């Protein structure tokens, strides 16, 4: 695996690779340079080894941390120097000939001053390396203890285990529901059932599990509680259970020479004929669970096990059968958060002084429904005067209080447990999230592309960097470190958010490692960064912040993220950020006053996003930077991309959001492209369109078509290149355009076997289902089609697609009436819009996983006798929506409402009581509020 940049090691790994490459090429053979590089590489290799060793220590002491910081900064600075060296000197290979000789000589003369400057910088680096090495020896770091803690940290989870029932808020409903489920007899009436409770640290998993345990414990012959922790001692854990279930009969005497297997055998013997209840708290791995679980026999005595974990995969492993249950903890509601907060401070949940209402709401927002945070901060406030000024101080200082205040030490340690359990590469990816403000919804694609551009990601076992980065994204969600947002019907998480309390921890650790410097956020760190600024996040900027930045050396900033457009007119010029790898202005709406000139001097740039502002006035040549792998000019209204863009042979993602962008000539040279969005095919030259077929690594393509007879040749070329893509890994194809038939798509051959998403939008039409759509398309998961006609046999063909999860059909004409649905084994979301009265009816067994159905059609058809959807056959249905519109003067508003009532009646008879939405012909959304209210009452009870 190629070394990557990380929070703990900095750039030391990639730097050694870069120095090795320099030694191997011509640049390293210049007089005196090779010797210097070899010497530096030797010293830095030893330091990198020591840094790697110390990074594995869970709690290094102060001197070790200080030395690690020095080495990280040294590695960053060294890489910056050699990046300049490589670009200023250029490639000095000699190809022979007088012209080449004179060109080479002129270049050396031209760069002589730069070479002398770099030589001086290398001398400075050598001096620094020597001093850092001397410090390591003088500190005797090889003998340094792993921790300076002089006290034993108390486990704050003990509070949850011994919490009084009177202090429990918001858990009564789940407790009663889970307790009832635990003692119920299922299909296997004597089977041992497992309840796993999963969620973010501090959500109250242990508290809830303990409440369920208390409520049902009298129904069991023997009971035990064990805490597993991150590094479980299996022998000690099983011995502890034996001591709790053996009722003091001496079962653990003379066991000093027993190994884990003997303890497990003894426990199984003790429990073989007993109905037992076991509470296993804080499981961190499936391996630990599998070993512990085998100690509890399946004895057909209706035994029960409760397990808690922060990791979703572990929770799933605890529940392998349909008789088991996984319960995902949610944050407290606003109402319950206030109840818990005021009850802890004032002893009652309804006696908060009016003057504290506003500030208490702001504090609770920061707590985000996290019971541990609410309890910890309320304990802090309970010892202070009930004055607005005092509470305001606490609100402003929550971040620093997490580190320095004993009242919040428990919460900090609970959240830090999850962080400490992460592998180094995941710690780096998590700390990077501190570049985004509080409550920010972080787009998955944007995030993983930035990780790649920062150098955090290496290819693994045939997986691309993008695929590895996405795997890391889902690992953070799986470990409950970040919260999933916008989950699609296909199960993909499109965005995430960081809980405010976890963000405070992340920022604190990020500042400690000088990983990210923040301006204008909840914890501005501009004044307390160590060394040069490496990654700069500008979340709010005013004149004071602009003045402070003016006094900083910005030449070492590798990443610049700006989420505020204010004062950009006076913001430091881009030319000052000469080491930038990532430049992200995505959230800036007004860039007109900011000087973008000399962007082409950012020779290290890998990621460029210019937000949603109008870029028409910006010099387009600035976007052409060798080495960039993601270019996102967004809402560009220009028809032509920058001249020379075809030279960007390393570009992987080209994101334009306008529909007028022409395919640039020479695009076939951009062989690294994976994602293109969006090109106007019909306005482009035929030769340029044809070159798209050379992009064999392309997996996402968005196109715009203007329909017309004059574009016949364009359509032929487009079909030809789609046929070429069949042998590549094209996964996503979106075609948008003006109204017209694009039946040439019907001749796509061979079928695109890797295609996952096929999306048609705008006014483009197909006569019917393309012939290449067959059950053999095993990857096709999402499809949106506009059809002139839908026949019954075509619907049956779609029903045979084995992986289809989302289907949207828009019909121009067709059968005016019923189409019968069969098949669709995986479909979760089905949308059908018909302007001519077609609708579907569901048969038993059809769409067994369907959760949401949206239909829109002719109200006159829906009012005819015998209209019937058959939604009672949809066992997983959660929501149904009908959209009616008035067609000319033949259908009245009353008829539309009557049609909706027919479907609503059928929906309310469904055992799931699915949510019903009706968007009337008057464009009003009407929800089934009665149903929602009844549901709410049922849940409360």
- Cα dihedral 863, 864, 865, 866, rounded to 10, equals -90
User: Taking the domain 332-388+409-421, which CATH number applies?
Assistant: 1.10.8
Q: What is the pTM of this model?
A: 0.86
Question: Residues 514, 515, 518, 521: is their CA dihedral positive or negative?
Answer: negative
| pLDDT bracket for residue 612 (50, 70, 90) | low
The predicted pLDDT at position 400 comes to 63
Residue 514 to residue 524: CA distance in whole angstroms = 13
Q: Which of 472, 51, 22, 422 is nearest to 201 (CA)?
A: 422
The predicted pLDDT at position 674 comes to 93
The angle, 0 to 180 degrees and rounded to 10, between the axes of the packed helices 260-271 and 234-245 is 30
Top-ranked range on mean pLDDT: pick from 81-95, 234-248, 283-297, 641-655: 283-297
Question: 483-487 and 493-497: which strand pairing?
Answer: antiparallel
544 Cβ neighbours under 8 A, 6+ residues apart: none
Angle, alpha carbons 503-506-511 (nearest 5°): 125
User: What pairs with residue 836 in β-bridges?
Assistant: none
754 Cβ neighbours under 8 A, 6+ residues apart: 699, 728, 729, 730, 731, 779
Residue 235 to residue 256: CA distance in whole angstroms = 11
Least trusted range by pLDDT, from 218-232, 549-563, 922-936 = 922-936
Q: Which of 707, 660, 711, 669 is nearest to 688 (CA)?
A: 669
Q: What does the pLDDT average to over 318-334?
A: 92
Residue 74 to residue 748: CA distance in whole angstroms = 56
| pLDDT bracket for residue 939 (50, 70, 90) | very low
Here the tokens at position 181 are 């489920």
27 Cβ neighbours under 8 A, 6+ residues apart: 33, 85, 86, 89, 91, 92
Average pLDDT of every residue of the chain? 83
Residue 837 to residue 201: CA distance in whole angstroms = 52
Q: Which residue has the higher pLDDT, 891 or 887?
A: 891
Separate counts of helices (H) and strands (E) for the chain? 29, 30
Domain boundaries, the chain: 11-139, 183-247+258-328, 332-388+409-421, 430-513, 518-637
Residue 265 to residue 268: CA distance in whole angstroms = 5
Q: Which of 2, 6, 1, 128 is nearest to 56 (CA)?
A: 6
Residue 632 to residue 626: CA distance in whole angstroms = 15
289 burial type by CB count under 10 A (0-12 exposed, 13-18 middle, 19+ buried): buried
| pLDDT bracket for residue 158 (50, 70, 90) | low
Residue 100 to residue 509: CA distance in whole angstroms = 52
The predicted pLDDT at position 936 comes to 36
The predicted pLDDT at position 571 comes to 86
| pLDDT bracket for residue 413 (50, 70, 90) | confident
Q: Which residue has the tokens 């053979």?
A: 29
Q: What does the pLDDT average to over 134-153?
A: 62
3-state SS string for 364-401: HHHHCCCHHHHHHHHHHHHCCCCCHHHHHHHHHCHHHH
Percentage of the chain lying above the pLDDT 70 cut: 83
Q: Which residue has the higher pLDDT, 707 or 186?
A: 707
Q: Which residue has the higher pLDDT, 312 or 141?
A: 312
Residue 492 to residue 483: CA distance in whole angstroms = 13
Here the tokens at position 521 are 């956020």
Residue 677 to residue 657: CA distance in whole angstroms = 7
- Cβ–Cβ under 8 Å, residues 668 and 687: no
3-state SS string for 166-192: HHCCCCHHHHHHHHHHHHCCCCCCCCC
SS3 863: coil
The predicted pLDDT at position 87 comes to 75
Residue 591 to residue 596: CA distance in whole angstroms = 9
- Cβ–Cβ under 8 Å, residues 341 and 378: yes
pLDDT tens digits for range 545-599: 888 888 899 999 999 999 877 767 788 888 899 999 999 988 887 777 787 778 8
Helix ranges (H only) for 397-499 are 398-404, 409-420, 424-431, 444-454, 465-478
Sheet holding 222-227, edge to edge: 222-227, 276-283, 304-309, 193-198, 325-328
Percentage of the chain lying above the pLDDT 90 cut: 42
- Cβ–Cβ under 8 Å, residues 68 and 7: no
Residue 918 to residue 856: CA distance in whole angstroms = 10
Q: Which of 124, 142, 29, 138 is nearest to 80 (CA)?
A: 124
Q: Which of 734, 724, 788 is nearest to 756 (CA)?
A: 734
Least trusted range by pLDDT, from 138-152, 236-250, 251-265, 418-432 = 138-152
Largest Cα separation within the chain, whole Å, is 98
| pLDDT bracket for residue 149 (50, 70, 90) | very low
User: Taking the domain 183-247+258-328, which CATH number applies?
Assistant: 3.40.50.300
The predicted pLDDT at position 278 comes to 95
Q: What does the pLDDT average to over 483-490?
A: 86
Cis status of the peptide bond prior to 678, with omega within 30 of 0: yes
Chain mean position to CA 145? 36
The predicted pLDDT at position 461 comes to 84
The angle, 0 to 180 degrees and rounded to 10, between the axes of the packed helices 33-55 and 62-89 is 150
Q: Which residue has the higher pLDDT, 852 or 188?
A: 852
The predicted pLDDT at position 351 comes to 77
Question: Residues 248, 251, 253, 258: is their CA dihedral positive or negative?
Answer: negative
How many residues are recorded in the chain? 941
Residue 636 to residue 621: CA distance in whole angstroms = 14
SS3 194: strand
Q: Which residue has the higher pLDDT, 521 or 219?
A: 219
| pLDDT bracket for residue 179 (50, 70, 90) | very high
Whether the pLDDT of residue 607 is over 90: the answer is yes
Residue 851 to residue 902: CA distance in whole angstroms = 20
Q: Which residue has the higher pLDDT, 902 or 863?
A: 902
Q: Which of 707, 708, 754 is nearest to 733 (CA)?
A: 754
Q: Which residue has the tokens 């702001």?
A: 362
Q: What does the pLDDT average to over 740-769?
A: 91
Q: Which residue has the higher pLDDT, 783 or 936?
A: 783
SS3 517: strand
Q: Which residue has the higher pLDDT, 155 or 701?
A: 701
SS3 835: coil
Residue 674 to residue 653: CA distance in whole angstroms = 6
């Amino acid at each position: 695996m190629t070394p990557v940049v990380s929070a703990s090691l900095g750039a030391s790994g990639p730097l050694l690779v870069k120095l090795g490459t320099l030694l191997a090429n011509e640049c390293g053979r210049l007089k005196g340079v090779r010797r210097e590089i070899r010497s530096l590489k030797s010293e830095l290799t030893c330091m990198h080894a020591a840094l790697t060793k110390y990074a594995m220590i869970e709690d290094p002491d102060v001197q070790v941390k200080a030395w690690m910081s020095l080495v990280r900064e040294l590695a960053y600075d060294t890489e910056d120097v050699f990046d300049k060296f490589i670009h200023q000197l250029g490639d000095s290979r000699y190809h022979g000939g007088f012209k080449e000789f004179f060109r080479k000589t002129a270049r050396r003369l031209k760069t002589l001053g730069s070479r002398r400057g770099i030589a001086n910088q290398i001398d400075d680096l050598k001096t620094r390396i020597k001093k850092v090495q001397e410090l390591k020896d003088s500190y005797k770091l090889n003998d340094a203890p792993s921790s300076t803690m002089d006290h034993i940290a108390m486990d704050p989870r003990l509070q949850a285990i011994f919490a009084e029932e009177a202090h429990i808020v918001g858990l009564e409903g789940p407790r009663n529901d889970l307790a009832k489920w635990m003692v119920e007899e299922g299909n296997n009436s004597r089977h041992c059932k497992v309840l796993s409770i999963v969620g973010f640290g501090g959500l109250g998993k242990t508290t809830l599990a303990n409440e369920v345990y208390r409520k049902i414990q009298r129904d069991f012959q023997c009971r035990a509680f064990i805490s597993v922790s991150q590094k479980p001692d299996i022998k000690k854990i099983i011995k502890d259970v034996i001591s709790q279930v053996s009722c003091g009969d001496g079962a653990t005497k003379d066991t000093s020479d027993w190994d884990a297997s003997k303890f497990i055998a003894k426990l199984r013997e003790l429990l073989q004929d007993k109905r037992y209840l076991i509470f296993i708290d804080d499981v961190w791995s499936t391996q630990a669970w599998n070993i512990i679980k085998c100690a509890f026999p399946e004895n057909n005595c209706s035994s029960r096990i409760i397990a808690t974990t922060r990791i979703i995969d572990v929770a799933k492993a605890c529940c392998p059968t349909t008789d088991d249950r996984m319960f995902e903890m949610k944050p407290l509601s606003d109402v319950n958060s206030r109840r818990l907060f005021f009850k802890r401070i004032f002893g009652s949940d309804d006696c908060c002084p009016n003057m504290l209402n506003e500030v208490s709401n702001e504090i609770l927002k920061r707590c985000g429904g996290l019971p541990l945070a609410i309890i910890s901060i309320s304990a802090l406030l309970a010892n202070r005067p009930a004055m607005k000024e005092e509470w305001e101080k606490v609100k402003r200082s929550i971040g620093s209080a997490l580190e320095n205040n004993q009242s919040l030490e428990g919460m900090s340690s609970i959240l830090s447990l999850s962080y400490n359990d992460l592998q180094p590469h995941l710690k780096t990816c998590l700390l990077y999230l501190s570049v985004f403000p509080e409550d920010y919804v972080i787009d998955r694609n944007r995030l993983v592309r930035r990780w790649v551009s920062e150098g955090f990601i290496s290819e693994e076992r045939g997986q691309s960097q993008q695929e590895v980065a996405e795997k890391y994204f889902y690992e953070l969600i799986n470990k409950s470190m970040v919260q999933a947002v916008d989950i699609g019907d296909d199960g993909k998480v499109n965005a995430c958010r960081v809980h405010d309390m976890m963000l405070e921890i992340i920022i604190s650790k990020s500042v400690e490692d000088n990983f990210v410097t923040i301006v204008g956020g909840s914890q501005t760190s501009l004044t307390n960064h160590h060394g040069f600024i490496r990654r700069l996040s500008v979340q709010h900027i005013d004149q004071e912040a602009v003045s402070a930045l003016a006094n900083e050396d910005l030449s070492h900033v590798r990443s610049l993220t700006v989420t505020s457009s204010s004062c950009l007119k006076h913001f430091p010029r881009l030319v000052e950020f000469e080491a930038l790898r990532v430049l992200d202005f995505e959230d800036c709406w007004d860039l007109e006053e900011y000087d973008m000139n000399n962007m082409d001097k950012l020779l290290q740039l890998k990621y460029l996003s210019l937000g949603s502002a109008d870029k028409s006035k910006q010099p387009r040549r600035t976007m052409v930077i060798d080495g960039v792998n993601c270019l996102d000019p967004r809402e560009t209204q220009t028809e032509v991309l920058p001249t020379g863009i075809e030279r960007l042979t390393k570009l992987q993602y080209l994101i334009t959001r306008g529909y007028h962008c022409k395919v640039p000539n020479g695009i076939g040279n951009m062989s690294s492209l994976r994602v293109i969005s969006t090109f106007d095919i019909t306005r482009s030259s035929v030769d340029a369109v044809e070159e798209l077929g050379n992009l064999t690594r392309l997996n996402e393509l968005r196109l715009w078509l203007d329909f017309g007879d004059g574009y016949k040749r364009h359509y032929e070329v487009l079909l030809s290149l789609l046929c070429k893509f069949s042998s590549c890994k094209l996964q996503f194809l979106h075609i948008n355009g003006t109204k017209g038939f694009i039946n040439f798509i019907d001749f796509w051959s061979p079928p695109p076997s890797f295609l996952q998403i096929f999306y048609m939008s705008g006014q483009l039409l197909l006569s019917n289902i393309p012939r290449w759509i067959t059950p053999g398309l095993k990857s096709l998961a999402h499809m949106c089609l506009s059809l002139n006609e839908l026949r019954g046999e075509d619907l049956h063909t779609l029903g045979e697609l084995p992986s289809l999860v989302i289907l949207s059909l828009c019909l121009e004409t067709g059968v005016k009436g019923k189409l019968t649905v069969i098949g669709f084994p995986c479909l979760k979301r089905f949308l059908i819009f018909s302007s001519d009265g077609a609708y579907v009816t569901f048969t038993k067994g059809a769409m067994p996983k369907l959760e949401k159905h949206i239909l829109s059609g002719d109200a006159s058809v829906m009012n005819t006798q015998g209209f019937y959807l058959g939604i009672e056959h949809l066992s997983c249905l959660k929501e149904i929506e009908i959209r009616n519109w008035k067609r000319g003067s033949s259908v009245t508003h009353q008829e539309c409402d009557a049609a909706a009532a027919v479907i609503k009646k059928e929906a309310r008879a469904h055992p799931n009581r699915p949510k019903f939405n009706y968007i009337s012909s008057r464009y009003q959304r009407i929800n089934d509020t009665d149903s929602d209210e009844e549901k709410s009452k049922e849940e409360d009870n």
